[in-house]
Chain A
Amino acid sequence: MAQATSPPDLTRETAEPTARRYSVDAAGLGRWRAGAFAAPALLLITVFLVFPALWVLYLGLTDYRLTGTAAADPKVVGLDNFLSALGEPTFWNSTWLTVQFVLGSAVIGQVGLGFAIAWLLRDKRGPLKRIVEGLVILAWILPSAVVSFLWVALLDADGGTLNALLGTGDYAWLLDHPMLSIIVFNTWRGTAFSMMLYGAALGNVPPSHLESARLAGASGWQQLRDVVFPHIKGHILTNLLLISLWTFNDFTPFMITAGGPDGKSEVLAVHVYKVALQSGQLGYGAAVSTVILLINLVVAVFYLRLLRSKK
C-alpha cells in the first residue's frame, strides 16, 4: 500500500520550478489570500468544535454545577469526578445498557437487518423493491421528534396501536420492556443507512464469482461466506464503525422512555443529560462525557486497525 501511493517526488519538483509552483499553490492565490479564504471555516470549527471539546475536558476536572455556590465559583477537583463515576453503580449500569443498545440495535439490528434486506432485494426489480426501500428510507429521514412521538403512540399502554393490533389490552411495553422497545425502535429507525450501503456494496460483487460458486454447488450460506463477505469486508467494517459510534452517542431513546423506568433504559448519552442538566452536576457530567469520548476513540481505533490489516 505505502509504496503504491508514494508521495510526489520532491527532487523532480525542485528541478522544475514551474511544476513546483503549480503543485504547492495550484490556484495561484499566494499564502495570505489562501489563508484568508480558509480562516472563516477554521474560526467556526474552533469556536463550535475545538473550544467546546476542550471546555468539556476542563469542566470534567472541576466541581462546576448548574446552580449553587459551585456554579459561581467552581473549583478544580482533579480526577475526583472520574473516580466517583467509576465507583458509581448507575454509571456502570448505563455503560452496560449502552453496550446492549449498540450490540442489539446497531450490530445485530441495523447491520443484520440492513444486510438481509439488501441481500434479498439484490436482484429484484419493480414495485416490491421500491416499496420496501421507500419505507425503510422513510423511517430514516423523518425527524426524531416525529418518529419518537409515533413510537410512543404505538407502544403506549393506554390505547397504544400495538396493543390494539395484538389485542393485548393495556400492556405497558415501555415500562415492562424499555430496552427492547428502544432497541427495536432504533433498528427500525437506522436500518436504511446499512441497507443502502450494502445494496451498493453487493453491486460490486462480480456475478461470475457467485455463479462460479453456484456451479460448484455452494449453498446460499456458502456463497455468502466464500464470495460475498470477502468482497464486502471493507464495507462491513466501515458500516460497523459508523453505526456503532452513532448508536453509542444517540440521544433519541430519551424521547421514547426518558431513560426510565427507574434507569432501566438510561444509556450513557441519556445518563450524561440527566446528571449534567437535570441534577445540575455539570463537572461530573463532563467527566462522564470525556469517558464516552475515550470509549468512542477506542472503538474507532479498533475498527480502523481491522480495516487496515485487511489490506
Chain B
Amino acid sequence: MAAIELRRLTKVYPGGVKALDALDLVIPDGEFFALLGPSGCGKTTLLRTIAGLETATGGAVVIGDRDVTSVQPGGRDIAMVFQDYALFPHMDVTDNVAYPLRIKKVAKAERHRRAGEVAARLGLERLMDRRPGQLSGGQQQRVALARVMATQAQAFLFDEPLSNLDARLRLEARTFLKKLQRELGVTTVFVTHDQAEALAMADRMAVMEAGVIRQIGTPAEVFQRPANTFVAGFIGSTPMNLLDAVVRGDTLEVAGCAVPVPDAAAGLLADGEKVVYGVRPEYNAYAPKPADGSSEGALAGKVVIVENLGASHLVTLDVNDVTVQAVVPEGSEPAVGDEGFAAPRRDRALVYRDGELVTR
C-alpha cells in the first residue's frame, strides 16, 4: 500500500498530441480516487503512464517513496483492471487469478491456495475450473478483480471496468467494488466517464480537460461548488445553468430579471461587473406563481420543454430569450406554454468571473 504522486507529468504522443500537460497530483495511501473527464481528455493516458505502459515524456511518477518513472511496468508493484478485463482465454479461472503469482515464481500449491482464497471472497468458488469464455460479463469482472487482488500490489488502477456491464449489474458492481476497496484499503485510481459512478464511489475525484486537471476534491465539493465553468458544465446529470449576468448593487441582473447575489459571492463583486451566474436545475425552485405575490428574486419566463426524468421533471423556461432549466418534483410539472417562475437557491447559486469560481 502506497501513495501515488505525480510531479509535472507530461506525455506527448508521437505525432504531437499532448495528452498530459505538466500534471501534478497526489493520491494519499488508501484513497479511492476517480478520474473523470470528457472523451479524449487523457484519463487513460494518465492511468497507463502511472502503470508504465506509456513512458512519460517529462515529469515523475512516485509510488510509495520510490521514483518509478523509468521502471518497467512489471517492477512498479501495481495491478490494473482493463476495460475488456484481459483474461487469458486459454486458462481457467484458477490459472488466470494465479497468473501474476506464477510469474513471481510462487510455488504451485501456494499460488492455487491464494487464488482460491481471493476467489472465494468474490464468490467465484464454483467457477474455478471454467474458462473466461464460459463466464458472464459480471463474473469475468470479478475474476479480473480477483487477479488484481491476488497480486497484493501497492496500488490498483481501473480503466472503466464497469463499462461492459449492463445497467443493473453496473450498480451492483459499483457497490461491491466500493465495499471491497474499503476492506482492502489499497490505493485505487479509477477512470470513468460516468460521473454518477465517480460521485458514488470516490473518496476524492479529479475532473480533467485536455491533459490538465481542472478540479480536485470530494464528490460533494465538486458537485456543489465546481471550481470553474468547465467543471460546472460537465458535472451533474443535468448541466448547470450558466447565465451571463451584470452586478447591480446587491442583486444580479440575469436575463432581464434581478436575482440576489449568492451567499458564496457576497461582498466579493464590484458594481457593474460582468460575471456568469450558475445554478443547478436541482437548486432552481420552480413555481407557477411567485411565492410572495411579487416576482422578486426569481426568473420569470415561459415553459418551452418538459422532460421526464423518472421521479422528477426537467422544465426548460424561456426567460427573455435565455434558456433556464429547473427540476420539478413529480406531480407538479407544468404544461408547455405556461407562465412560470424559477427561484434559484441563494445558498447554492454560484458566480464565475472569467470562468473561475468567485469564492472566499
A residues at B contact (CB < 8 Å): 206, 208-209, 211-218, 222, 226-227, 230-231
Q: Which residue from B79, B83, B88 sits with its C-beta under 8 Å from A215? A: B79
Q: Which of B52, B75, B80, B86 has the most CB of A within 10 A?
A: B86
What does the 1/0 interface line of B150-181 toward A look like (CB < 8 Å)? 01000000000000000000000000000000
Residues of A within 8 A of B73 (CB): 211, 214-215, 217
Take A212-B80, A222-B103, A226-B99 as given contacts and tell me if A217 and B86 are in contact as well, using a CB distance cutoff of 8 Å. no
What does the 1/0 interface line of B61-96 toward A look like (CB < 8 Å)? 000000000001111101110111010111000000
Q: Is A216 within 8 A of B53, CB to CB?
A: no
Residue of A nearest to B51 (CB): A215
Residue of B nearest to A211 (CB): B53
Tell me if B360 counts as interface (CB < 8 A to partner A).
no
Residue of B nearest to A212 (CB): B86
A213 to B72 Cα, complex, angstroms: 12
What does the 1/0 interface line of B101-122 toward A look like (CB < 8 Å)? 0011000000000000000000
Residues of A within 8 A of B76 (CB): 215
Residue of B nearest to A218 (CB): B103
Q: Is A217 within 8 A of B82, CB to CB?
A: no
Q: Is A209 within 8 A of B88, CB to CB?
A: yes
A209 to B84 Cα, complex, angstroms: 9
How many chain B residues touch A (CB < 8 A): the figure is: 23
Residues of B within 8 A of A216 (CB): 74, 99-100, 103-104, 151
Q: Is A230 within 8 A of B74, CB to CB?
A: no
Q: Is B89 within 8 A of A230, CB to CB?
A: yes
B residues at A contact (CB < 8 Å): 51-53, 72-76, 78-80, 82-84, 86, 88-90, 99-100, 103-104, 151
Q: Which residue from A209, A214, A226 sits with its C-beta under 8 Å from B74? A: A214
Q: Is A206 within 8 A of B84, CB to CB?
A: yes
The minimal Cβ–Cβ distance linking A121 to chain B, given in whole angstroms, is 16
Q: Is A227 within 8 A of B75, CB to CB?
A: no
Q: Is A208 within 8 A of B74, CB to CB?
A: no
The minimal Cβ–Cβ distance linking A289 to chain B, given in whole angstroms, is 41
A sample of 19 cross-chain residue pairs with beta-carbon separation below 8 angstroms, ordered by A number, consists of: A208-B82, A208-B84, A208-B86, A209-B86, A209-B88, A211-B51, A211-B73, A211-B80, A211-B86, A212-B80, A212-B86, A214-B72, A215-B74, A215-B76, A215-B80, A216-B151, A217-B74, A218-B74, A218-B103
Residue of A nearest to B144 (CB): A212
Residues of A within 8 A of B72 (CB): 214, 217
Residues of A within 8 A of B104 (CB): 216-217
Q: Is B103 within 8 A of A208, CB to CB?
A: no
Residue of B nearest to A233 (CB): B90
Q: Which of B89, B90, B104 has the most CB of A within 10 A?
A: B90
Add 20 more A-B contacts to A209-B86, A216-B100 (CB < 8 A): A206-B84, A208-B82, A208-B83, A208-B86, A209-B88, A211-B53, A211-B80, A212-B86, A214-B53, A214-B73, A215-B53, A215-B73, A216-B99, A216-B151, A217-B73, A217-B75, A218-B74, A226-B99, A230-B89, A230-B90
Residue of A nearest to B82 (CB): A208
Residues of A within 8 A of B90 (CB): 230
Residues of B within 8 A of A230 (CB): 88-90
A206 to B84 Cα, complex, angstroms: 9
A212 to B88 Cα, complex, angstroms: 9
Residues of A within 8 A of B53 (CB): 211, 214-215
The minimal Cβ–Cβ distance linking A15 to chain B, given in whole angstroms, is 35
Q: Which of A214, A217, A230 has the most CB of B within 10 A?
A: A217
Q: Is A226 within 8 A of B88, CB to CB?
A: yes
Residues of B within 8 A of A215 (CB): 51-53, 73-74, 76, 78-80, 100
Q: Is B84 within 8 A of A227, CB to CB?
A: no
The minimal Cβ–Cβ distance linking B26 to chain A, given in whole angstroms, is 23
A227 to B90 Cα, complex, angstroms: 9
Q: Which residue from A206, A218, A222, A231 sits with its C-beta under 8 Å from B86? A: A206
List 3 tightest A-B contacts by C-beta distance, closest first: A217-B74, A216-B100, A208-B86
A65 to B266 Cα, complex, angstroms: 113
A208 to B79 Cα, complex, angstroms: 13
A211 to B157 Cα, complex, angstroms: 13
Residues of A within 8 A of B78 (CB): 215
Residues of B within 8 A of A208 (CB): 82-84, 86
The minimal Cβ–Cβ distance linking B299 to chain A, given in whole angstroms, is 49
A212 to B103 Cα, complex, angstroms: 12
Q: Is A211 within 8 A of B99, CB to CB?
A: no
Q: Which of A215, A216, A218, A231 has the most CB of B within 10 A?
A: A215
A249 to B68 Cα, complex, angstroms: 55
Residues of B within 8 A of A213 (CB): 99, 103
Residues of A within 8 A of B83 (CB): 208
The minimal Cβ–Cβ distance linking A234 to chain B, given in whole angstroms, is 12
Residue of A nearest to B83 (CB): A208
A146 to B197 Cα, complex, angstroms: 66
A209 to B73 Cα, complex, angstroms: 14
